[in-house]
Amino acid sequence: MATTVFQQALGTLESHSCLSSSGFRHECGSASVKLISKDFKVDIALMRRGNYCSKKRSFSLIQASTSQTTVFDPVSSPLHKTANDSKKKPSEAALILIRHGESMWNEKNLFTGCVDVPLTKKGVEEAIEAGKRISNIPIDLIYTSALIRAQMTAMLAMTQHRRKKVPIIQHEENEQARAWSQIFSEETNKQCIPVITAWQLNERMYGELQGLNKQETADKYGKEKVQEWRRSYDIPPPNGESLEMCAERAVAYFQEHIEPQLQSGKNVMIAAHGNSLRSIIMYLDKLTSQEVISLELSTGIPMLYIFKEGSFIRRGSPVAPTEAGVYAYTKRLAQYRQRLDEMLQ
Ligand SMILES: O=C(O)[C@@H](CO)OP(=O)(O)O
């Protein structure tokens, strides 16, 4: 083979790194994981500096059926591993964050919060466009909020994915729901991506602003007051959640459920909301409560992070499915992309 995708990608790494640098701090802390028993209990001492630092967490790593799905993947398939590779633990994984596409209340400029509003036609198109941008990035597991706009976005984005795996919502609300949604073909199972819905990833609860027009609210209470409710870190809107309160559930969920998946080498996509994702990005990028004020997320724009050796490395937003810089950072991503090309030619 003449020039591999990896080699091409490496050639452009430098320029893309510059493009994706956003002024946020990228240095990451470290996480140490210690196995303390055979029943999957782990003790994770998160030694991160910043607002969520120095928290020692102890929890059971629940072996959800979703995390046990054995998937054929050009990157992780034993067919492509060398004897040496198979001994190594995966130390890197892709993490895609995506805010839902435009909702019907975004269009009407209404405070939405936890009200369960669907996408507009434009939102549907944004989700499909986002799917094209990430169509070459491996995804083993999808997390969404419990709200339809995030779920629609994840599903629509996956219609564009080149692996053509089928995203399947996991119904674990009770034993019957679990039993009735079982798949009885191992082969079919391998071609599915589990989608886990979690209320903890919902938009922050906007209290008594939900359903109010943003402009009319600013006219009534003053632009500064409304901006404080919308973007300050610790001032909640009337009877609603501040970003800090939203972070308490969203970041805790991320740390307890999603980080262990990344640590085990699973590539994850999270489809959620402006503020639940702002709180997660604050954690990933170690933003201060001042810095997060100016963090704005557009609807339907995917953001890629690489989780590597306990650190999150922000790669920015892929502008196109073949953008070399996206694949340059890790050899695994480059190999995945190359094998996809070979398989799907
Ligand atoms: O209305 C909302 O729920 C959010 C996101 O659309 O609005 P804001 O931009 O004020 O956080």
The full set of domains in the chain, from first to last, is 5-344 (3.40.50.1240)
CA diameter of the chain: 67
The Cα 164–Cα 183 span in angstroms is 18
**pLDDT tens per residue across span 176-227:** 999 999 999 999 999 999 999 999 999 999 999 999 999 999 999 999 999 9
Query: Any binding-site annotation on 203?
Result: yes
Q: What is the pLDDT of residue 87?
A: 54
Secondary structure class of 326 (helix, strand, coil): helix
pTM: 0.78
Q: What is the pLDDT of residue 88?
A: 59
> Which atom, in ligand 1's list, is nearest to the CA of 275?
11
| 242 ligand 1 Cβ < 6 A | no
Place of tokens 């950072």: 329
**pLDDT tens per residue across span 287-302:** 999 999 999 999 999 9
Share of the chain above pLDDT 90, in %: 65
User: Which has the higher per-residue pLDDT, 38 or 249?
Assistant: 249
Burial class (CB in 10 A: 0-12, 13-18, 19+), 56: exposed
**pLDDT tens per residue across span 70-108:** 333 444 433 334 445 445 566 799 999 999 999 999 999
Please tell me the least confidently modeled range out of 9-23, 158-172, 248-262.
Answer: 9-23
- Answer for the pair 123, 102: CB distance below 8 angstroms, yes or no: yes
16 is known as an active-site residue? no
| 233 ligand 1 Cβ < 6 A | no
Please tell me the least confidently modeled range out of 57-71, 120-134, 265-279.
Answer: 57-71
**Torsion angles phi and psi, residue 136, rounded to 5:** -105, 5
Q: What is the pLDDT of residue 90?
A: 62
Non-local CB neighbours of 128 within 8 Å, separated by 6+ positions: 156, 157, 159, 160
Q: What is the pLDDT of residue 4?
A: 40
ipTM of the complex: 0.97
Q: What is the pLDDT of residue 334?
A: 85
For a mutational test of ligand 1's pocket, the pick from 201, 206, 232, 278, i.e. the residue with the most ligand atoms closer than 8 A to its C-beta, is 206
**pLDDT tens per residue across span 106-135:** 999 999 999 999 999 999 999 999 999 999
pLDDT at 250 over 60: yes
Burial class (CB in 10 A: 0-12, 13-18, 19+), 269: buried
Residue in 92, 126, 203, 259 annotated catalytic: 203
Q: What is the pLDDT of residue 344?
A: 78
Q: How far is CA 254 from CA 143, 199, 229, 277, in A?
A: 10, 12, 24, 10
Please tell me the least confidently modeled range out of 60-69, 115-124, 135-144.
Answer: 60-69
Secondary structure class of 44 (helix, strand, coil): strand
| 299 ligand 1 Cβ < 6 A | no
| 206 ligand 1 Cβ < 6 A | yes
Q: How far is CA 267 from CA 73, 84, 91, 211, 313, in A?
A: 11, 22, 11, 36, 14
Query: What average pLDDT does the structure give for the chain?
Result: 79
For a mutational test of ligand 1's pocket, the pick from 106, 111, 210, 227, i.e. the residue with the most ligand atoms closer than 8 A to its C-beta, is 111
234 C-alpha vs ligand 1 centroid, how far in Å?
16
| 230 ligand 1 Cβ < 6 A | yes
pLDDT at 18 over 60: no
The Cα 286–Cα 284 span in angstroms is 6
Strands laid side by side in the 56-60 sheet: 30-35, 41-47, 56-60
203 is known as an active-site residue? yes
Q: How far is CA 176 from CA 142, 169, 171, 172, 173, in A?
A: 22, 15, 9, 8, 8
Q: What is the pLDDT of residue 167?
A: 98
Secondary structure class of 196 (helix, strand, coil): strand
